[in-house]
């Protein structure tokens, strides 16, 4: 099962230059911290460590690239192992206070995601009372989700296309409680630890099969033709069932196609009808626009797709419409 546009990037970390500290520097930093009381140390304490009591997490210590403050954050041991496999072992210094002090490229990687979360994702602004935790209201202010459009071709294999991907547009469905939850989530979704999260990585980590998940989204959407018929029947005392709507939608589609075939173009349709037909082809037209802005080519492509549409409807195949997720 093929998915076009699966590699589109939905989020990427802030690029930071690596600061490879020597072992002596890290030991001296730890020694100075141990001489101070915990509240005197210039470290932003982990909030998640106070909420989570199991042993499946590891405290990591890194510098906030914006404020310069050191940050202690809890991430899963699974992600910790992935980081240690990816980066130089000298980038990890185990401290007596339980923190794994990050340095070099490992710190640049984690700090880069932290900066992205606090900035573009809106983590700092969403934490209205600055307690390090997100209430339900505060979670709605986050921009850890993204938007995209889907279309499915009726060609061999029924490939799905992911179009118009735009990151940081909405709050995701995950119920994160802290900044550290977001940090751990982003590291988990960055499967190859390259500092970027693609559509495919996001879906495979959060939902499993990419194709199945996208197919489910497509199938969960209302057919616009059926929706139009349903709206026209709102005044009716009897609510039409799905089968009745599908039949009505097919009849409406055939009526529109008859007008197109009779006139040879879309101009015979009303503006509302033209918009409805063009909605079906939104994905295909958008793909052509990415290759060429030539209006004649786009119109020729649209005419070709309409002819295919006529043949499809004549053979009683079902409609799969472009949809926005």
- For residue range 232-283, list pLDDT tens digits in order: 555 454 555 555 544 555 566 556 666 665 665 666 667 766 666 666 555 5
Give the percent of the chain with pLDDT over 90.
41
DSSP class of 156:
T
Per-residue pLDDT, averaged over 73-81, amounts to 96
Q: What is the pLDDT of residue 229?
A: 44
- For residue range 40-56, list pLDDT tens digits in order: 888 998 999 888 776 89
Measured distance CA(191)–CA(308) in Å, rounded: 39
- Between 189 and 40, where is the model more confident? 189
- Between 30 and 156, where is the model more confident? 30
Per-residue pLDDT, averaged over 71-95, amounts to 96
Q: What share of the chain is helix, strand, coil (3-state, %, to 5)?
A: 50, 15, 35
Q: What is the pLDDT of residue 263?
A: 61
Q: Is the predicted pLDDT of residue 319 greater than 50, yes or no?
A: no
Kindly list the distances between the CA atom of residue 249 and the CA atoms of 146, 226, 276, 314, in Å, as whole numbers in the listed order.
Answer: 31, 5, 12, 14
The domain limits of the chain are 1-220, 224-324
Q: Is the predicted pLDDT of residue 25 greater than 70, yes or no?
A: yes
Q: Is the predicted pLDDT of residue 179 greater than 50, yes or no?
A: yes
> From start to end of the chain, where are the E strands?
3-4, 9-12, 43-44, 57-63, 70-76, 92-94, 99-102, 145-152, 160-170, 196-198, 323-324
- Please state, rounded to an integer, the average pLDDT across all residues of the chain: 79
Q: Is the predicted pLDDT of residue 322 greater than 90, yes or no?
A: no
Measured distance CA(257)–CA(261) in Å, rounded: 6
Q: Are 19 and 96 in contact (CB under 8 A)?
A: no
The model scores a pTM over 0.85:
no
Per-residue pLDDT, averaged over 71-96, amounts to 96
Q: What is the pLDDT of residue 116?
A: 96
Measured distance CA(43)–CA(286) in Å, rounded: 49
Measured distance CA(70)–CA(42) in Å, rounded: 7
CA 168, chain centre distance (Å): 8
Kindly list the distances between the CA atom of residue 237 and the CA atoms of 233, 234, 240, 311, in Å, as whole numbers in the listed order.
Answer: 9, 8, 9, 36
Q: What is the pLDDT of residue 32?
A: 94
Q: Are 165 and 8 in contact (CB under 8 A)?
A: yes
- CA-based torsion, 76, 80, 82, 86: positive or negative: positive
Q: What is the pLDDT of residue 138?
A: 92
Which residues fall within 8 angstroms of residue 27, CB to CB, at 6 or more apart? 93
Confidence of residue 149 (pLDDT cuts 50, 70, 90): confident
Per-residue pLDDT, averaged over 184-206, amounts to 94
């Amino acid at each position: 099962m093929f998915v076009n546009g699966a590699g589109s990037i939905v989020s990427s970390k802030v690029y930071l230059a690596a600061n490879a500290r020597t072992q002596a520097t890290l030991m001296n930093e730890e020694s100075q911290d141990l001489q101070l009381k915990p509240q005197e140390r210039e470290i932003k304490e982990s909030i998640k460590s106070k909420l989570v009591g199991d042993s499946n997490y590891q405290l990591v210590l890194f510098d906030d690239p914006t404020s310069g403050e050191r940050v202690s954050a809890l991430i899963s041991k699974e992600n910790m192992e992935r980081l240690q496999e990816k980066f130089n072992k000298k980038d990890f210094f185990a401290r007596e206070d339980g923190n794994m002090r990050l340095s070099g490229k490992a710190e640049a990687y984690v700090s880069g995601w932290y900066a992205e979360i606090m900035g573009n994702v809106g983590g700092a602004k969403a934490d209205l009372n600055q307690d390090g935790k997100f209430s339900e209201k505060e979670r709605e202010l986050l921009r850890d989700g993204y938007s995209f459009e889907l279309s499915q071709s009726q060609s061999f294999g029924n490939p799905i296309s992911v179009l118009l991907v735009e990151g940081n547009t909405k709050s995701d469905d995950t119920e994160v409680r802290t900044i550290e939850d977001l940090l751990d989530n982003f590291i988990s979704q960055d499967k190859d630890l390259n500092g970027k999260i693609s559509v495919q990585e996001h879906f495979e980590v959060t939902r499993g099969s990419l194709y199945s998940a996208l197919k489910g989204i497509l199938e969960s959407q209302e057919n616009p033709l059926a929706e139009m018929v349903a709206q026209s029947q709102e005044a009716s005392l009897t609510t039409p069932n799905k089968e009745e709507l599908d039949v009505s939608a097919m009849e409406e589609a055939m009526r529109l196609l008859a007008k197109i075939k009779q006139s040879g173009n879309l101009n015979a349709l009303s503006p509302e009808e033209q918009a409805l037909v063009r909605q079906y082809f939104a994905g295909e037209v958008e793909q052509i626009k990415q290759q060429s802005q030539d209006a004649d080519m786009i119109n020729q492509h649209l005419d070709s797709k309409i002819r295919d549409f006529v043949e499809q409807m004549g053979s009683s195949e079902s409609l799969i419409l472009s949809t926005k997720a």
